[in-house]
Structure 1
Amino acid sequence: MTQISSLRYTDNLHQQAYQSLLKNDFQQAISLYEQAIEIEPELKSSYWYLGVLLLLQGQETEAQSTWLMAMLDIEENEIEKNTQELAEILQAEANRQNTFDNYHQAHLLRQHLQEIQPRNIDNLLYLIQLEVKLATFTNETIENSQIINLLQKSSKLEFTTDLLQTVLQNILETVPLFPKSIELAQASIPHLEPQKLLSLLLRTSVTVAYSMQAPTPGAKYAELCLKIAPNHPEILRHLAACYQNSGEHLRGIEIAKQYYALMTTLVDKVQASSLVIRGFMHAGGYWEEANLAFQHQEELFTQLIAEQPILDGIPHMCRLLTGTYFFPYWRDAAATNRKLQNQVAHLFQSSLEIGRQELQAKYQSQLTAKKAHGNQVKKLKIGYLSAYLKRHSVGWLARWLLEHHNRDRFELYGYFLSYKDTQHPLQEWYVNQVDKAHKLGTNSGEIAECIYADDIDILVDLDSITLDISCEVLALKPAPIQVSWLGWDASGIPTVDYYIADPYVLPDTAQSYYAEKIWRLPETYIAVDGFEVGIPNLRREDLDIPPEAIVYLSAQGNCKRHPDTINLQMQILKAVPHSYFLIKGFAEEEAVKQFFIQMAEAEGISAERLRFLPDVALESVHRANLTIADVVLDTYPYNGATTTLETLWMGVPLVTKVGEQFAARNSYTMMMNAGICEGIAWNDSEYIDWGVRLGQDAALRQKITWQLYQSRRTAPLWNGAKFTQQMEEAFEQMWQKYHNQWKKLLSKCGKNTTTNKKPSFS
């Protein structure tokens, strides 16, 4: 056979072999390439393809031997050319396998490509992308690939920037919490289009910080955003919140101040000022600065309400609505605080209606035969709206209502906002407890549509202004009757019809300054059947406290530790010489310690009598640890709520001061509904007197403890079933009132007339 005819025959074999490869007839292709090698051993491409085929057949060692054998007799000046040829063949076949979703084969081919071209950034990116698809991606994937080092030194290396953007997006959408994911994002900044990258990083930061509840890495992504867009207001706002939520309070305050300094409009200043206040309150120990910030915030709100601007974006509306959140922590001025809250809520509602007219009109026209003939409804549909039906105070307290609901009379729906699959038993309990559970995100329009589609009769909001998403949903009025319960004080939103209270938690005059109709249950607005209690890990000897000493405890968060109340607590401590004060849970540790020490020393009390205790991981252990205290000293003007219930359940005497506002009467109603009056103070003097008396009178403490344990059998506070019956009666009465108002409205309009107007509940 002549050389020319031999080459032609080899080319023909190559074409046949490649066609067999494309048809996935690997054995035929292998046979043909072996023939080509036998005829023309100098043609290296036959070896390259043969090795690829052996690799695809699972014969990795044989494939490597085939390539090595071909390389041995190549001239040095030809090695680079032949290596490039092998690389191109590996890459082409990897791409082909990828189109058929054969990710394992594509990954294997690219691994061998990496061995011969370790600085091929595109190949490294494809490898990472394949590992994400195969769910084998780990933190070590990026580290071992050296992709970060290459990107940092890539001025002389070529790669596809669009591929980098795509792969980075895949990683951040899949495993954003990996430290190397953050490092890769940082290394990508010089190479990608700034606005696209900024959008991706900010979206990732928000998802990580809130949906994934990981504010520390959320802050890391926000910091990268600032590298791209320094002094960007929205990034600064988000970064400040991330720092505050992750415990970096001083940095959070500083960034919040930077954010405020950039604001020019009154609306923006109100929102930014709220963020500064939030930083001070969560940090603790900065009450002097917080007091000035509160005064400034009130001045801004007064100007804003006088101007009555139309807000042009939902984020602006919601941030404005939640801007009053900390006022009850600052002062007990129920009428003043509620007036401000109601005015802000009205401004929020008015602005929202302008942007959502079409959607609101749809909900306003939801009159149906069932609504007009309410008595014919077999079961009332009750919807529970919350982001906190999980391991949270709302989750611990609301469960008894759902546990005891009468399923013959009520159909239960759960709207779980910002849902995250945490696998926590309490969250899953709630999901399984309702007849229909909706695991939702943060889009208020979609949430409202879901409620509307379910034809809910009464929507119960458990979040109030602790969650802006809930406020948006309520303002859209997707259910004919909307009720606020448990989560916070009333929101003041005009579309909320009722606010659940009891005879004690609000004074008799409260209706004059509430926008919602106050619906008072006959005994208590909250009841639990009990709490899970673990094994205590806190002992006096570990804290260097003598056995005979009197131990006072404050177990509230920093936001509730008002200096005026701390001053009263120090006076109690001073009057009971052999006493110690335990302060549990603090944020900015040194600032809180110095704050308490200064307050103590001002009363002539040694700092040696103070003990600062960190939080514990499990709520059950926290409850068990409460029994180390002889007396718990409550906060004011914002009392304990869940902590008060836990304290009473554990049989520990409590001293509380009763005020005007809901937040200042929580412990009062709980003690009354547990059958305990000892420890209830109506002024500063009584607070001190009760604190001293309970510290000095061991017999009185024992009596209270015995009464509290006995109250578990009979008291309304510990009777979840009875409480549920009273709530259900309230729901049915609300529905009957709604039905009667519709009947009156329809009778005025005529039997055959329909109307879109809804009855008033004011």
Structure 2
Amino acid sequence: MLPKDTPSNLTSWQQEADIYWKKGNYTKAANLYEQAINTQSNCKSYYWQLGLILLLQGKEEEAQTTWLLGIADGEVEEVEQWTEELVQVLTTEANRQAAKEDYAVAWTIRQHIREIHPTDIHNLLHLIYLSIGIENYTAEQLNEYEIITQLKNSKVEELDQNLLLHLLNKLLVHDPINLSSIEFVSVAVQKIEDKLALVSCLIPPIYQIAYSFAELGVARKYTEILLNVVPENQEVLRTMAQFSTELTEYSLGLEYAQKSYALSKKIFEKVIDYHSVCRSLIALKGCDEKVQEAVEYQEKLLQSLVTESPQKLGGAAIRLYSSSFFFPYARDCAEKNIKIRSQVAELCQQNLEKANSQQINKYRHKLSQQKQINSTKKTLKIGYLSHCLRRHSVGWITRWLFTYHNRDKYEIYAYLQGAENRNDSLQQWYINQATKAHVYGIVGTEMAEDIYEDEIDILIDLDSITLTNSCSIMAMKAAPIQVTWLGWDASGIPTIDYYIADPYVLPENAQDYYPHKIWRLPQTYVAVDGFEVNIPSLKREDLGIPSDAVVYFTAQRGFKCNPDTARLQMKILKEVPNSYFLFKKFGESDILSELLIDIAESEGISSDRLIPIEEVAREEIHRANLGIADIVLDTYPYNGATTTLETLWMCIPMVTRVGQQFAARNSYTMMINAGITEGIAWSDEEYVEWGIRLGKDEKLRQEISWKLRKSKQTAPLWNAKQFTREMEKAYEQMWQRYIDN
């Protein structure tokens, strides 16, 4: 008989014990099981349950002793059976605790299962998953548990596919850089049956690794692992193309882009993939004839897309924003480029609004309600959205605006994309400077909601179409006034209200074809108080350049290299005796070197006068290295921007060719706002004439350098405080217009 103070009915006392157990009253539950064991010592399940309850009380040694007592008197076969029963009891409770989100308890239980069955792959996978959740995971656990070996030896049908998928995702988010993680993933992906689910699960964290962790090489390694199991998956091929090109392996990037394009069937797929082809081609070859043809073909694809106007693009709509990104590198056709960009943006907007109608309507409703309430507010909330508020061109320039903003009149909010795991001193500076800063991964989706909840009055997009995620956020229209500034040309997104410019960076008639209202600041659309400069790593003698030689230099990346402009540069070099041409080497720039050498030889110039130099790791050294140059020769149809600012700050004369598009007028507005006109060319002929004149006239070069040094005290380009006041005035006027309308 059971003891007098326990229920006489076996089922009822177990139910009572179970109630105590689930309520966490382990003492009473344990008492019932102890009494049951005293009454029926041959019922082994009581030992399993009592030991588990003791374990839940934190009495691990007592728990193990109880289980051993239950097993001690058994034969081999009985012990095996009882062990399996014990493991099942522990597994059931571990799952129950995990469902309650008591992950630490579940982990402790599974550790005991591991002691009993050290090779149980299902339990080991759970252990790693729980370890990450309770933040006691270390990469050594993969080796300690021998989990990779166990996984290799496991049959696919033995594995919990969902568990393995979730663990892969969690591991890539938590500890992607470790070599053990890479080895684990390389084995695990081969065990996943649903390959589409595998790709969907891993691609987002892989992009986080690339851009939030800033580990492009590791991200591509994971993508290669995926590619081994899904060699014709377009998503993986596109990712490989993107990462390879960014790692300056341009030929490989082109190969993957072409493979993906060959698999494309729908017009929007062709547009996305051929954009990737153009991207790799330009990076590999500069804007040569083949690239020009590729851009023209991409334009035809875009025209077909716009004509068809597909209404169900899903996530592809976001990617289409950047589909005409490289047009300004290949041609100076402002009106034509902006028209197709705006048409594509309108198509993306239609699809995005259908997919997010409830959220967008919520924003619109609230904004209309708040308009009258906010009409008398004295402090404006200004939000800055970018993935570049760090050691990046945009980051170096925007910091002056953050420095000089009037905090009595403006609250400054920062929305930093791709910043979640990035260790960057300038990024941290921005976070510290902001009234409130939000830090996201590269694929964060909550930004629009945060902007809405923060009740931002004016949202400034610093990315334009350089990051498609930024485009989708701006398209949601979570702030009443939305502005594009600095990062690139106007995006064409219909929800953008204003595009910041100045009297020079856009032609007078630009409003005729720009979709946004152009807001021209009175002097310059950009200003800085200067740049940090380190010790140069380049010396003339190390490059074999005589001390009395004239050194021409171009500081632009390879995809700004245009054969027509390169030919003009070689004509200059030919006419200036004892002159040399330095250009930056980027990745597979042997092809670009060959292009320049071919052009030089066609102009009768020895290749010895062309000297490639390696890219340096830090911007401060790059700026110092500019001092090796006597004259900087700008690119066309895509000028320098930050590189021009740096050149002028270092007081080096330069020659720029002015065009019609924003990208072809950056250097022009900066030179004007630095107080010099020498070197501004309005035709190819003037470009060559200025290049020759500056090369031959040392006195003129000295005069320009002197003017640039003097300009640091007076010129608009170097007066970031005054520039900030002008931006703030623009914000005030934008706000007043909004309230009045």
Q: Tell me which interval the TM-score lies in, with the shorter structure as reference length.
A: 0.7 to 0.9
1:633–1:654: 8 Å Cα contact kept in structure 2? yes
The answer for unaligned runs of 5 or more in structure 2 is 1-23, 35-46
Which residue identity lines up with residue 536 of structure 1 in the other structure? P
Match of 2:293 in 1: 292
Match of 2:225 in 1: 224
The 10-residue stretch of structure 1 (690-699 or 229-238) with the greater mean CA deviation from structure 2? 229-238
Task: Supply the distance in 2 between the matched residues of 1:445 and 1:344 (Cα, whole angstroms).
Answer: 22
The 10-residue stretch of structure 1 (188-197 or 617-626) with the greater mean CA deviation from structure 2? 188-197
Which residue identity lines up with residue 271 of structure 2 in the other structure? V
Partner deviation per Cα, 1:702-743 (whole Å, 9 max, x = no partner): 222221111111110000010011111111122222233x2x
Against the structure 1 CA distance between its residues 455 and 594, is the aligned structure 2 distance closer, same or farther, given a 3 Å change threshold? same
Task: Supply the distance in 1 between the matched residues of 2:372 and 2:26 (Cα, whole angstroms).
Answer: 68
The 10-residue stretch of structure 1 (690-699 or 498-507) with the greater mean CA deviation from structure 2? 690-699
Against the structure 1 CA distance between its residues 645 and 514, is the aligned structure 2 distance closer, same or farther, given a 3 Å change threshold? same
Which residue identity lines up with residue 665 of structure 2 in the other structure? R
Match of 1:233 in 2: 234
Partner deviation per Cα, 1:374-396 (whole Å, 9 max, x = no partner): 66221222222222212211111
Total equivalences in the alignment: 701
2:496–2:516: 8 Å Cα contact kept in structure 1? yes
Partner deviation per Cα, 1:511-548 (whole Å, 9 max, x = no partner): 11111111111110000011111121222222222222
Alignment of 1:137-216 (within 5 A): 137-143=137-143, 145-154=145-154, 164-194=164-194, 195-216=196-217
2:486 paired with 1:474: no
Alignment of 1:213-612 (within 5 A): 213-285=214-286, 287-305=288-306, 307-366=307-366, 371-372=371-372, 376-441=376-441, 446-612=446-612
Against the structure 1 CA distance between its residues 85 and 572, is the aligned structure 2 distance closer, same or farther, given a 3 Å change threshold? farther
Q: Provide the secondary structure at the position in 2 that maps to 1:381.
A: strand
Task: Supply the distance in 1 between the matched residues of 2:469 and 2:156 (Cα, whole angstroms).
Answer: 49
Compute the displacement of 1:119 (Å). Answer: 5.0
Compute the displacement of 1:286 (Å). Answer: 6.8
Task: Supply the distance in 1 between the matched residues of 2:90 and 2:448 (Cα, whole angstroms).
Answer: 50
Match of 1:702 in 2: 702
The sequence identity of aligned pairs, in percent, is 47
Which residue identity lines up with residue 267 of structure 2 in the other structure? L
Partner deviation per Cα, 1:440-476 (whole Å, 9 max, x = no partner): 4567874333323333222211111112222222223
Task: Supply the distance in 2 between the matched residues of 1:373 and 1:81 (Cα, whole angstroms).
Answer: 77
The 10-residue stretch of structure 1 (641-650 or 117-126) with the greater mean CA deviation from structure 2? 117-126
Against the structure 1 CA distance between its residues 710 and 181, is the aligned structure 2 distance closer, same or farther, given a 3 Å change threshold? same
Compute the displacement of 1:111 (Å). Answer: 7.4
Compute the displacement of 1:685 (Å). Answer: 1.4
Against the structure 1 CA distance between its residues 209 and 88, is the aligned structure 2 distance closer, same or farther, given a 3 Å change threshold? farther
Q: Provide the secondary structure at the position in 2 that maps to 1:714.
A: coil
Partner deviation per Cα, 1:415-458 (whole Å, 9 max, x = no partner): 22343242322112212222222334567874333323333222
The 10-residue stretch of structure 1 (92-101 or 584-593) with the greater mean CA deviation from structure 2? 92-101
Compute the displacement of 1:572 (Å). Answer: 1.6
Which residue identity lines up with residue 255 of structure 1 in the other structure? Y
Which residue identity lines up with residue 244 of structure 1 in the other structure? T
The 10-residue stretch of structure 1 (445-454 or 469-478) with the greater mean CA deviation from structure 2? 445-454
Match of 2:712 in 1: 712
Partner deviation per Cα, 1:35-69 (whole Å, 9 max, x = no partner): xxxxxxxxxx99xx9xx99xx9999xxx99xx9xx
Task: Supply the distance in 2 between the matched residues of 1:258 and 1:395 (Cα, whole angstroms).
Answer: 35
2:553–2:629: 8 Å Cα contact kept in structure 1? yes
Task: Supply the distance in 2 between the matched residues of 1:736 and 1:366 (Cα, whole angstroms).
Answer: 19
- Please, what is the CA RMSD of the aligned residues? 4.1
Which residue identity lines up with residue 565 of structure 1 in the other structure? T
The 10-residue stretch of structure 1 (171-180 or 89-98) with the greater mean CA deviation from structure 2? 89-98
Compute the displacement of 1:649 (Å). Answer: 0.7
1:284–1:586: 8 Å Cα contact kept in structure 2? no
Q: Provide the secondary structure at the position in 2 that maps to 1:640.
A: coil
Which residue identity lines up with residue 601 of structure 2 in the other structure? E
1:91–1:110: 8 Å Cα contact kept in structure 2? no
Task: Supply the distance in 2 between the matched residues of 1:158 and 1:449 (Cα, whole angstroms).
Answer: 42
Which residue identity lines up with residue 273 of structure 2 in the other structure? A
Q: Provide the secondary structure at the position in 2 that maps to 1:414.
A: strand
1:280–1:287: 8 Å Cα contact kept in structure 2? no
Which residue identity lines up with residue 730 of structure 1 in the other structure? A
Q: Provide the secondary structure at the position in 1 that maps to 2:552.
A: strand
Compute the displacement of 1:648 (Å). Answer: 0.7
Against the structure 1 CA distance between its residues 589 and 413, is the aligned structure 2 distance closer, same or farther, given a 3 Å change threshold? same
TM score, norm. by length of structure 2: 0.84
TM score, norm. by length of structure 1: 0.81
Alignment of 1:610-625 (within 5 A): 610-625=610-625
Task: Supply the distance in 2 between the matched residues of 1:444 and 1:168 (Cα, whole angstroms).
Answer: 19
Partner deviation per Cα, 1:635-659 (whole Å, 9 max, x = no partner): 1111000111011111111111111
Against the structure 1 CA distance between its residues 162 and 661, is the aligned structure 2 distance closer, same or farther, given a 3 Å change threshold? closer
1:374–1:735: 8 Å Cα contact kept in structure 2? no
Compute the displacement of 1:356 (Å). Answer: 3.6
2:420–2:440: 8 Å Cα contact kept in structure 1? no
Which residue identity lines up with residue 470 of structure 1 in the other structure? S
Against the structure 1 CA distance between its residues 125 and 265, is the aligned structure 2 distance closer, same or farther, given a 3 Å change threshold? closer
2:208–2:443: 8 Å Cα contact kept in structure 1? no
Against the structure 1 CA distance between its residues 23 and 231, is the aligned structure 2 distance closer, same or farther, given a 3 Å change threshold? same
Against the structure 1 CA distance between its residues 107 and 613, is the aligned structure 2 distance closer, same or farther, given a 3 Å change threshold? farther
Against the structure 1 CA distance between its residues 265 and 542, is the aligned structure 2 distance closer, same or farther, given a 3 Å change threshold? same
Against the structure 1 CA distance between its residues 316 and 124, is the aligned structure 2 distance closer, same or farther, given a 3 Å change threshold? closer
Against the structure 1 CA distance between its residues 341 and 368, is the aligned structure 2 distance closer, same or farther, given a 3 Å change threshold? closer
1:94–1:105: 8 Å Cα contact kept in structure 2? no
Match of 1:16 in 2: none
The 10-residue stretch of structure 1 (522-531 or 568-577) with the greater mean CA deviation from structure 2? 568-577
1:285–1:594: 8 Å Cα contact kept in structure 2? no
Task: Supply the distance in 2 between the matched residues of 1:79 and 1:549 (Cα, whole angstroms).
Answer: 91
Task: Supply the distance in 1 between the matched residues of 2:717 and 2:171 (Cα, whole angstroms).
Answer: 49
Compute the displacement of 1:580 (Å). Answer: 1.8
Task: Supply the distance in 1 between the matched residues of 2:428 and 2:391 (Cα, whole angstroms).
Answer: 10
Task: Supply the distance in 1 between the matched residues of 2:625 and 2:458 (Cα, whole angstroms).
Answer: 39
Which residue identity lines up with residue 238 of structure 1 in the other structure? T
Against the structure 1 CA distance between its residues 621 and 90, is the aligned structure 2 distance closer, same or farther, given a 3 Å change threshold? farther
Task: Supply the distance in 2 between the matched residues of 1:539 and 1:494 (Cα, whole angstroms).
Answer: 50
Task: Supply the distance in 1 between the matched residues of 2:192 and 2:107 (Cα, whole angstroms).
Answer: 29
1:373–1:739: 8 Å Cα contact kept in structure 2? no
Compute the displacement of 1:370 (Å). Answer: 6.1
The 10-residue stretch of structure 1 (652-661 or 354-363) with the greater mean CA deviation from structure 2? 354-363
The 10-residue stretch of structure 1 (684-693 or 118-127) with the greater mean CA deviation from structure 2? 118-127
Against the structure 1 CA distance between its residues 381 and 546, is the aligned structure 2 distance closer, same or farther, given a 3 Å change threshold? same
Compute the displacement of 1:409 (Å). Answer: 2.1
Partner deviation per Cα, 1:636-693 (whole Å, 9 max, x = no partner): 1110001110111111111111111111010011011111111111111111122122
Compute the displacement of 1:550 (Å). Answer: 1.7
Q: Provide the secondary structure at the position in 2 that maps to 1:390.
A: coil
Compute the displacement of 1:109 (Å). Answer: 5.3
Q: Provide the secondary structure at the position in 2 that maps to 1:324.
A: coil
Partner deviation per Cα, 1:354-410 (whole Å, 9 max, x = no partner): 444444333333456763476622122222222221221111111111211112222
The 10-residue stretch of structure 1 (710-719 or 284-293) with the greater mean CA deviation from structure 2? 284-293
Task: Supply the distance in 2 between the matched residues of 1:628 and 1:110 (Cα, whole angstroms).
Answer: 67
Match of 1:737 in 2: 737
